[in-house]
Amino acid sequence: MGLNAALRSLCREFMEVYTTISIETHFEVPEKLIQDPLKILIYRILQEALNNIAKHSQADTVKASLQLVDNDNQVALVIEDNGRGFDLKGVQAMDFQNRGIGLKSIKERTVVFGGVLSIQSKLGQGTAIRVSWPC
Q: Domain limits of the chain?
A: 3-134
Interval 114-132 mean pLDDT: 94
Instruction: Inform me whether the pLDDT recorded for 98 exceeds 60.
Output: no
Helix (H, G, I), strand (E, B) or coil at 17: helix
In this predicted structure, the answer to whether residue 100 has a pLDDT above a threshold of 80 is no
Look at residue 101 in the predicted model and tell me its pLDDT: 63
79 within 8 A of 128, measured Cβ to Cβ:
yes
25 touches 5 (CB < 8 A): no
Look over the chain and give the mean of its residue pLDDT values, rounded to a whole number: 90
Task: Tell me the C-alpha to C-alpha distance, in Å, between residue 121 and each of 42, 57, 106.
Answer: 21, 11, 16
Question: For 56, which DSSP code?
Answer: I
> Who has greater pLDDT, 66 or 70?
66
Q: Is the pLDDT of residue 25 over 60?
A: yes
pLDDT tens digits, residue range 36-59? Answer: 999 999 999 999 999 999 999 999
Give the model's confidence band at 88: pLDDT under 50 very low, under 70 low, under 90 confident, else very high.
Answer: confident
For residue 102, is pLDDT > 80? no
Q: What percent of the chain has pLDDT over 90?
A: 76
Share of the chain above pLDDT 70, in %: 91
- CATH value of 3-134 in 3.30.565.10, 2.170.130.10, 3.30.70.980, 3.40.50.20: 3.30.565.10
Q: Which amino acid would we find at residue 1?
A: M
Confidence of residue 105 (pLDDT cuts 50, 70, 90): confident
Kind and range of the H or E run holding 117: strand 116-122
